[in-house]
Protein backbone atom coordinates (compact mmCIF):
# COMPACT_ATOMS: atom_id res chain seq x y z
CA UNK A 1 0.00 0.00 0.00
CA UNK A 2 1.42 3.43 -0.92
CA UNK A 3 2.03 6.11 1.71
CA UNK A 4 -0.98 8.13 0.59
CA UNK A 5 -4.35 6.36 0.30
CA UNK A 6 -4.87 5.06 -3.22
CA UNK A 7 -8.01 6.24 -5.00
CA UNK A 8 -10.71 4.15 -6.65
CA UNK A 9 -13.53 5.52 -8.79
CA UNK A 10 -16.69 3.40 -8.58
CA UNK A 11 -19.63 4.07 -10.89
CA UNK A 12 -23.11 3.47 -9.53
CA UNK A 13 -21.81 3.48 -5.97
CA UNK A 14 -24.75 4.88 -4.02
CA UNK A 15 -26.51 1.60 -3.27
CA UNK A 16 -26.63 -2.12 -3.97
CA UNK A 17 -23.51 -3.76 -5.36
CA UNK A 18 -21.75 -0.43 -5.90
CA UNK A 19 -22.20 0.60 -2.28
CA UNK A 20 -20.85 -2.73 -1.05
CA UNK A 21 -17.82 -2.34 -3.31
CA UNK A 22 -17.24 1.14 -1.89
CA UNK A 23 -17.39 -0.14 1.69
CA UNK A 24 -14.90 -2.90 1.00
CA UNK A 25 -12.61 -0.40 -0.76
CA UNK A 26 -12.76 1.87 2.27
CA UNK A 27 -11.91 -1.02 4.56
CA UNK A 28 -8.96 -1.81 2.28
CA UNK A 29 -7.48 1.66 2.78
CA UNK A 30 -8.73 3.33 -0.39
CA UNK A 31 -10.22 6.76 -0.85
CA UNK A 32 -13.37 6.45 -2.93
CA UNK A 33 -15.04 8.59 -5.57
CA UNK A 34 -18.67 7.47 -5.34
CA UNK A 35 -20.43 8.15 -8.61
CA UNK A 36 -24.21 8.29 -8.60
CA UNK A 37 -26.88 9.37 -11.08
CA UNK A 38 -29.77 10.88 -9.11
CA UNK A 39 -30.16 9.73 -5.51
CA UNK A 40 -28.07 12.25 -3.58
CA UNK A 41 -29.35 11.04 -0.21
CA UNK A 42 -28.27 7.45 -0.92
CA UNK A 43 -24.85 8.60 -2.15
CA UNK A 44 -24.26 10.71 0.96
CA UNK A 45 -25.32 7.80 3.15
CA UNK A 46 -22.85 5.54 1.32
CA UNK A 47 -20.09 8.08 1.95
CA UNK A 48 -20.94 8.19 5.68
CA UNK A 49 -20.84 4.40 5.88
CA UNK A 50 -17.44 4.44 4.17
CA UNK A 51 -16.20 6.86 6.84
CA UNK A 52 -16.99 4.21 9.45
CA UNK A 53 -14.79 1.70 7.60
CA UNK A 54 -11.76 3.85 6.89
CA UNK A 55 -8.31 2.75 7.97
CA UNK A 56 -6.53 6.12 8.01
CA UNK A 57 -7.55 9.75 8.59
CA UNK A 58 -6.30 10.68 5.10
CA UNK A 59 -8.93 8.62 3.33
CA UNK A 60 -11.67 10.62 1.60
CA UNK A 61 -15.10 9.57 0.37
CA UNK A 62 -16.74 12.00 -2.04
CA UNK A 63 -20.02 11.49 -3.94
CA UNK A 64 -19.82 12.78 -7.53
CA UNK A 65 -23.06 13.11 -9.42
CA UNK A 66 -23.25 12.19 -13.09
CA UNK A 67 -25.28 10.08 -15.50
CA UNK A 68 -22.51 8.13 -17.18
CA UNK A 69 -24.79 7.46 -20.13
CA UNK A 70 -24.26 11.13 -20.98
CA UNK A 71 -20.78 11.64 -22.52
CA UNK A 72 -20.47 15.12 -20.99
CA UNK A 73 -21.29 13.77 -17.51
CA UNK A 74 -18.82 10.93 -18.03
CA UNK A 75 -16.07 13.39 -18.93
CA UNK A 76 -16.89 15.57 -15.94
CA UNK A 77 -16.91 12.55 -13.60
CA UNK A 78 -13.36 11.62 -14.51
CA UNK A 79 -12.03 15.17 -14.39
CA UNK A 80 -13.79 15.87 -11.08
CA UNK A 81 -12.28 12.73 -9.56
CA UNK A 82 -8.77 13.87 -10.52
CA UNK A 83 -9.52 17.38 -9.26
CA UNK A 84 -10.92 16.27 -5.89
CA UNK A 85 -8.45 13.46 -5.14
CA UNK A 86 -5.39 14.42 -7.17
CA UNK A 87 -5.06 10.94 -8.65
CA UNK A 88 -6.85 7.75 -9.57
CA UNK A 89 -5.45 4.27 -9.08
CA UNK A 90 -8.32 1.92 -9.87
CA UNK A 91 -11.62 2.04 -11.74
CA UNK A 92 -14.67 -0.11 -11.07
CA UNK A 93 -17.20 -0.02 -13.91
CA UNK A 94 -20.21 -1.07 -11.88
CA UNK A 95 -23.12 1.16 -12.96
CA UNK A 96 -25.72 -0.66 -14.99
CA UNK A 97 -29.39 -0.52 -15.86
CA UNK A 98 -31.97 -3.01 -17.05
CA UNK A 99 -34.49 -2.18 -19.76
CA UNK A 100 -37.39 -0.13 -18.44
CA UNK A 101 -39.78 -2.75 -19.84
CA UNK A 102 -38.95 -6.36 -20.53
CA UNK A 103 -40.11 -7.23 -24.04
CA UNK A 104 -39.63 -10.20 -26.32
CA UNK A 105 -36.74 -9.43 -28.64
CA UNK A 106 -39.14 -9.23 -31.59
CA UNK A 107 -40.48 -6.06 -29.92
CA UNK A 108 -37.26 -4.47 -28.57
CA UNK A 109 -37.19 -0.76 -29.31
CA UNK A 110 -34.15 1.11 -30.54
CA UNK A 111 -34.68 3.65 -27.72
CA UNK A 112 -34.42 0.93 -25.07
CA UNK A 113 -31.47 -0.69 -26.82
CA UNK A 114 -29.53 2.56 -27.04
CA UNK A 115 -30.34 3.59 -23.47
CA UNK A 116 -29.13 0.32 -21.93
CA UNK A 117 -25.99 0.09 -24.03
CA UNK A 118 -25.09 3.74 -23.44
CA UNK A 119 -24.86 3.15 -19.68
CA UNK A 120 -23.80 -0.48 -19.45
CA UNK A 121 -21.28 -0.67 -22.27
CA UNK A 122 -20.42 2.59 -24.03
CA UNK A 123 -19.81 4.57 -20.83
CA UNK A 124 -17.68 1.80 -19.30
CA UNK A 125 -15.54 1.51 -22.44
CA UNK A 126 -14.83 5.22 -22.72
CA UNK A 127 -14.39 5.81 -19.00
CA UNK A 128 -11.81 3.04 -19.09
CA UNK A 129 -10.18 4.74 -22.06
CA UNK A 130 -9.87 7.95 -20.03
CA UNK A 131 -8.29 6.07 -17.12
CA UNK A 132 -5.83 4.18 -19.29
CA UNK A 133 -4.74 7.30 -21.18
CA UNK A 134 -4.29 9.09 -17.85
CA UNK A 135 -2.10 6.28 -16.50
CA UNK A 136 -0.05 6.13 -19.67
CA UNK A 137 0.66 9.86 -19.31
CA UNK A 138 1.31 9.65 -15.57
CA UNK A 139 4.08 7.08 -15.23
CA UNK A 140 3.71 4.89 -12.14
CA UNK A 141 6.13 5.48 -9.28
CA UNK A 142 7.14 3.26 -6.39
CA UNK A 143 4.58 5.08 -4.24
CA UNK A 144 1.66 4.25 -6.54
CA UNK A 145 -0.84 1.51 -5.90
CA UNK A 146 -1.40 -1.18 -8.50
CA UNK A 147 -3.64 0.04 -11.28
CA UNK A 148 -6.76 -2.03 -11.78
CA UNK A 149 -9.78 -1.91 -14.05
CA UNK A 150 -12.77 -3.97 -12.97
CA UNK A 151 -15.84 -4.56 -15.11
CA UNK A 152 -18.96 -5.78 -13.29
CA UNK A 153 -20.73 -7.80 -15.95
CA UNK A 154 -23.32 -10.53 -15.35
CA UNK A 155 -24.18 -14.16 -15.92
CA UNK A 156 -26.18 -12.60 -18.77
CA UNK A 157 -22.88 -12.17 -20.63
CA UNK A 158 -23.19 -15.86 -21.50
CA UNK A 159 -26.80 -16.78 -20.68
CA UNK A 160 -29.47 -15.60 -23.11
CA UNK A 161 -32.72 -13.93 -21.98
CA UNK A 162 -34.89 -13.25 -25.02
CA UNK A 163 -37.05 -10.78 -23.07
CA UNK A 164 -34.13 -8.43 -22.39
CA UNK A 165 -31.69 -8.78 -25.28
CA UNK A 166 -30.28 -5.27 -24.86
CA UNK A 167 -29.10 -6.15 -21.34
CA UNK A 168 -27.49 -9.44 -22.43
CA UNK A 169 -25.74 -7.79 -25.38
CA UNK A 170 -24.41 -5.00 -23.15
CA UNK A 171 -22.94 -7.47 -20.67
CA UNK A 172 -21.46 -9.68 -23.40
CA UNK A 173 -19.86 -6.53 -24.78
CA UNK A 174 -18.35 -5.76 -21.37
CA UNK A 175 -16.84 -9.23 -21.29
CA UNK A 176 -15.06 -8.60 -24.59
CA UNK A 177 -14.06 -5.09 -23.47
CA UNK A 178 -12.30 -6.64 -20.47
CA UNK A 179 -10.29 -8.93 -22.73
CA UNK A 180 -9.39 -6.14 -25.13
CA UNK A 181 -8.25 -3.74 -22.41
CA UNK A 182 -6.33 -6.54 -20.68
CA UNK A 183 -4.31 -7.19 -23.84
CA UNK A 184 -3.71 -3.49 -24.44
CA UNK A 185 -2.69 -2.72 -20.86
CA UNK A 186 -0.75 -5.78 -19.72
CA UNK A 187 2.69 -4.47 -20.69
CA UNK A 188 2.05 -1.30 -18.69
CA UNK A 189 1.30 -3.11 -15.44
CA UNK A 190 -2.44 -2.36 -15.57
CA UNK A 191 -4.54 -5.37 -14.66
CA UNK A 192 -8.08 -5.90 -15.94
CA UNK A 193 -10.76 -8.12 -14.45
CA UNK A 194 -14.34 -9.06 -15.25
CA UNK A 195 -16.53 -10.04 -12.31
CA UNK A 196 -19.61 -11.94 -13.41
CA UNK A 197 -22.36 -11.96 -10.75
CA UNK A 198 -25.20 -14.45 -11.00
CA UNK A 199 -28.62 -14.17 -9.39
CA UNK A 200 -28.16 -11.28 -6.98
CA UNK A 201 -30.50 -9.86 -4.35
CA UNK A 202 -30.64 -6.23 -5.52
CA UNK A 203 -33.24 -3.65 -6.52
CA UNK A 204 -32.97 -4.89 -10.10
CA UNK A 205 -34.22 -8.37 -9.14
CA UNK A 206 -36.78 -7.35 -6.51
CA UNK A 207 -39.63 -7.67 -8.99
CA UNK A 208 -38.83 -11.32 -9.77
CA UNK A 209 -38.00 -12.46 -6.24
CA UNK A 210 -40.73 -15.10 -5.97
CA UNK A 211 -39.78 -16.61 -9.33
CA UNK A 212 -36.14 -16.99 -8.36
CA UNK A 213 -36.90 -18.10 -4.81
CA UNK A 214 -38.62 -21.12 -6.35
CA UNK A 215 -35.86 -21.73 -8.87
CA UNK A 216 -33.20 -21.54 -6.16
CA UNK A 217 -35.12 -23.95 -3.96
CA UNK A 218 -35.24 -26.38 -6.89
CA UNK A 219 -31.48 -26.30 -7.34
CA UNK A 220 -30.92 -23.83 -10.18
CA UNK A 221 -27.86 -22.59 -8.27
CA UNK A 222 -25.70 -25.34 -6.73
CA UNK A 223 -25.16 -23.31 -3.54
CA UNK A 224 -28.97 -22.80 -3.35
CA UNK A 225 -28.98 -19.17 -2.29
CA UNK A 226 -29.19 -15.65 -3.63
CA UNK A 227 -25.96 -13.81 -4.21
CA UNK A 228 -25.49 -10.61 -2.22
CA UNK A 229 -23.78 -7.28 -2.89
CA UNK A 230 -21.25 -8.29 -0.23
CA UNK A 231 -20.22 -11.30 -2.34
CA UNK A 232 -19.17 -8.91 -5.10
CA UNK A 233 -17.62 -6.43 -2.67
CA UNK A 234 -15.37 -9.14 -1.24
CA UNK A 235 -14.16 -10.06 -4.72
CA UNK A 236 -13.31 -6.44 -5.52
CA UNK A 237 -11.51 -6.14 -2.18
CA UNK A 238 -9.32 -9.11 -3.08
CA UNK A 239 -8.38 -7.46 -6.38
CA UNK A 240 -7.67 -4.07 -4.80
CA UNK A 241 -5.44 -5.76 -2.23
CA UNK A 242 -3.44 -7.34 -5.05
CA UNK A 243 -4.36 -10.97 -4.43
CA UNK A 244 -4.48 -11.77 -8.18
CA UNK A 245 -1.19 -10.34 -9.48
CA UNK A 246 -0.76 -12.87 -12.31
CA UNK A 247 -4.33 -12.66 -13.59
CA UNK A 248 -5.70 -10.32 -16.22
CA UNK A 249 -8.56 -10.45 -18.72
CA UNK A 250 -10.32 -13.32 -16.95
CA UNK A 251 -13.97 -13.55 -15.99
CA UNK A 252 -14.44 -14.49 -12.34
CA UNK A 253 -17.89 -15.94 -11.70
CA UNK A 254 -19.68 -14.93 -8.51
CA UNK A 255 -22.77 -17.05 -8.94
CA UNK A 256 -22.74 -20.01 -6.55
CA UNK A 257 -21.89 -22.41 -9.39
CA UNK A 258 -24.69 -21.31 -11.74
CA UNK A 259 -22.29 -21.14 -14.69
CA UNK A 260 -21.22 -24.77 -14.40
CA UNK A 261 -22.58 -26.95 -17.23
CA UNK A 262 -24.23 -30.09 -15.90
CA UNK A 263 -25.93 -33.14 -17.40
Whether 90 maps to a domain, the answer reads yes
Mean pLDDT for the stretch of residues 12-29: 97
Please check the confidence at residue 54 and state whether its pLDDT lies above 80.
yes
Whether 151 maps to a domain, the answer reads yes
Give the Cα separation of 141 and 123 in Å (integer).
Answer: 28
Mean pLDDT for the stretch of residues 196-215: 84
Nearest to 113 by CA among 156, 170, 69, 159: 170
Q: Residues 6 or more apart from 193 whose CB is under 8 A from it?
A: 148, 149, 150, 151, 178, 239, 244, 247, 248, 249, 250, 252
Which residues on adjacent β-strands are paired with residue 8?
32, 90
Whether 125 maps to a domain, the answer reads yes
The boundaries of the domain holding residue 242 are: 7-254
Give the Cα separation of 188 and 159 in Å (integer).
Answer: 33
The strand ranges marked E within the chain are 7-10, 31-36, 61-65, 90-93, 147-152, 190-197, 251-254
| pLDDT for 202 | 82
Mean pLDDT for the stretch of residues 102-126: 97
Residue 137 is part of a domain; what is its CATH number?
3.40.50.720
Whether 228 maps to a domain, the answer reads yes
Mean pLDDT for the stretch of residues 68-77: 96
Q: Tell me the average pLDDT of the chain.
A: 94
Whether 261 maps to a domain, the answer reads no
The total domain count for the chain is: 1
Amino acid sequence: MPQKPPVVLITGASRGIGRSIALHAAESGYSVALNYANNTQAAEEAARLCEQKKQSPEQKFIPIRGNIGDPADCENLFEETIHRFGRIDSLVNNAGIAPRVRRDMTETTIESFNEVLSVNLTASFFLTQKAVNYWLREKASADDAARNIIFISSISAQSASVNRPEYCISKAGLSMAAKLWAIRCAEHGIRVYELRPGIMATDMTSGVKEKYDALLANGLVPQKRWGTPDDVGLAVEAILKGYFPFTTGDAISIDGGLHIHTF
